[in-house]
Structure 1
Amino acid sequence: MARLYRGVTLEHDVFQAIADPTRRKLLQLLAHQDMSIAAMKECFPLSRTAINKHLHVLSEAGLVSSQKVGRETRYTLCLEPLAELQDWLSFFEQYWGKRLEALKQYVESN
């Protein structure tokens, strides 16, 4: 289902976008610097077309933006949509904390 983000309809949500390990690795690369597809290709055993498809999904989820610089397109990480993921995970932290505390008590009692 499409969703609206900053006036733009996004076809993929953050959870779909990060479900793929290649896309997670692309996000990690872009966290360090803006990159072109050619530069990203050096880090993967994938074709430019495959990387472009992954970037398209990330773009549709609002996780990356692109800008033409001369003859190449440079991609930039957009952190704002990751807040949705952080909010979702933070809900479950309360349960992890309880389970870790129970495990700690169990280990210390034996």
Structure 2
Amino acid sequence: THYVSKELQDIDMHYKGLVTYQVQLVQNNNQLTAADKEEFLSFMVELDAEYEQLKLEMQNNLDNEQVLAAIVSNYRKRIELIENLLQQLNESKIKEDDYGYTL
């Protein structure tokens, strides 16, 4: 159990910083409307709730390896969601920028 909690701490330390940084990028992005940001953040809230449920399962000692894998998967979903949104924003900005230079 001590090993698993240490492993969970390591996972949290690694992924929380990434997720926090990327969420901040989305929140500070001027291309998104307030409604877009709200919708995006609602997905993040759902994933946060899922994460909290997984942590409770860890405390109940339910197949810790599977729960740890699910926690990592949860973090990856969040990061993927953020990266996809930021990539779409960058692609639309590039298209807008290129449009002005067409001959």
Output the TM-score relative to the length of structure 1. 0.28
- Pick the structure with more strand per residue: 1
Larger RCO (CA within 8 A; separation ≥ 6): 2
TM-score, with normalisation over the residues of structure 2? 0.30
Name the one with the larger helix percent: 2
